[in-house]
Amino acid sequence: MTQQLDMPSPVAIKLPTPVLSAPLPQAERARLVERIKYLFKKQDAVLVAHYYVDEDLQRLAEETGGCVADSLEMARFGNTHAARTLVVAGVRFMGETAKILNPEKRVLMPTLQAECSLDLGCPADQFIPFCDAHPERQVVVYSNTSAEVKARADWVVTSSIAVKLVEHLKARGEKILWAPDKHLGDYIQRKTGADMLLWNASCVVHDEFKAQALLALKRQHPDAAVIAHPESPQAVLELADFIGSTSQLIQAAKNMPQQKFIVATDRGIFYKMKQAAPQKIFMAAPTAGEGASCESCAHCPWMAMNALDNLAQTLETGANEIHVEESVRVQALRATQRMLDFARTIQQPNRGD
């Protein structure tokens, strides 16, 4: 069972004021898109983008043979694509995962300031002693972690395979130490009944969804389905008709019979949801209500730092390259490669579209 008593105190995170690019006029965006396409060809580069980044970047990835995907598929795509340079539009752990898997490739990001509250909430110097204190447990970490944390793990997972991996470990009689997301860990524990000790961190976006306000919105739209990412709090997940990773949420939006959806994840995903089901209506789950701080308002402040202009500048200058110290990379590769191998054995489907 979940051992709340042993859960460490959360690490204080100061959210940086995001350095957002100013919205660009259409003519400037078109010029940048053409320039980036030229630089991709010249530098043998491909764009690997997450569903939460700006839709200009998602469209550019689609138009240039790149991918728009969840964290697992981003890792797989970068690992199998022949390009010499991977340009990762997302947050830092995604660039690091690409480098861990592809040391021979150049990995660039539009900005190196794009962090993740889960990664920041699980510093290696605090996490490693916690693991050392529980040597009887398999260490399973979410991919939203630093290379140093992955290097201490037995397994890396993403939300699309986490339940299946924990079921697999439970069937082998393993006890689990899970990090960093307490809500995802709690959800997996409830689904699988596995013995899980949870780290205490959360996602700044999903943590802000409010169950009371969601209930009120559901009452206003009784014909709408609620679909939620499992990084959301338990009270929100209890109101959901479907829970899944970003790819699985897009699939659900396409396949479920409802015409209206209340979506508890980053609203960047609406670009792909509208593409997958153009006739359907999508509403963001509420982040307002009692206790609201609305630091994210359903959009990750770090994902929002990726833009056409800093992407173009990165390609022009070669700045923002991801480096992972080789001994850390080799250690982190073990658990990261296990994630890809496990996903293959359960034949985890590819993207949400």
Nearest Cα to Cα of residue 332 among 198, 152, 105: 152
Using only C-alpha atoms, the chain has a radius of gyration, in whole angstroms, of 20
The answer to whether 202 contacts ligand 13P (rule: CB under 6 A) is: no
158 binds ligand 13P (CB under 6 A): yes
C-beta of 77 vs 302, nearer to ligand SF4: 302
Cβ burial of 63 (10 Å; 0-12, 13-18, 19+) is: exposed
331 binds, among ligand SF4, ligand 13P, none (CB under 5 to 8 A by kind): none
Per-residue x/- track, 302-331, ligand SF4 (CB under 6 A): xx----------------------------
Sorted by sequence, the CB contacts under 8 Å of residue 45 that are 6+ apart come out as 39, 83, 84, 85, 86, 87, 108, 315
Indicate the residue among 144 and 189 with the shorter CB distance to ligand 13P. 144
Contact (Cβ atoms closer than 8 angstroms) between residue 287 and residue 298? yes
Note whether 91 binds ligand SF4 by CB under 6 A: yes
- Which is closer to ligand SF4, CB of 117 or CB of 348? 117
Residues in the chain, total = 353
232 binds ligand 13P, rule: CB under 6 A: no
Of 303, 337, 144, 149, the C-alpha closest to 231 is 144
Q: Mask: binding to ligand SF4, 112-151, rule CB under 6 A, as x and -?
A: ----xxx-------------------------x-------
144 binds ligand 13P (CB under 6 A): yes
| Residues 5-34 close enough to bind ligand 13P by CB under 6 A | none
Residue with tokens 């969601």, as numbered in its chain: 214
Q: How far apart are CA 97 and CA 136, in angstroms?
A: 27
Query: What are the angstrom distances between the C-alpha of 82 and each of 40, 102, 318?
Result: 13, 11, 19
Under the criterion CB under 6 A, does residue 70 sit at the interface with ligand SF4? no
Q: In whole angstroms, give the CA distance from residue 351 to residue 349.
A: 7
Q: Is 205 in the site for ligand SF4 (CB under 6 A)?
A: yes
246 binds, among ligand SF4, ligand 13P, none (CB under 5 to 8 A by kind): ligand 13P
Which stretches of the chain bind ligand 13P, using CB under 6 A? 70-71, 144, 158-159, 203, 231, 245-246
Which stretches of the chain bind ligand SF4, using CB under 6 A? 91, 116-118, 144, 203-205, 231, 266, 300, 302-303
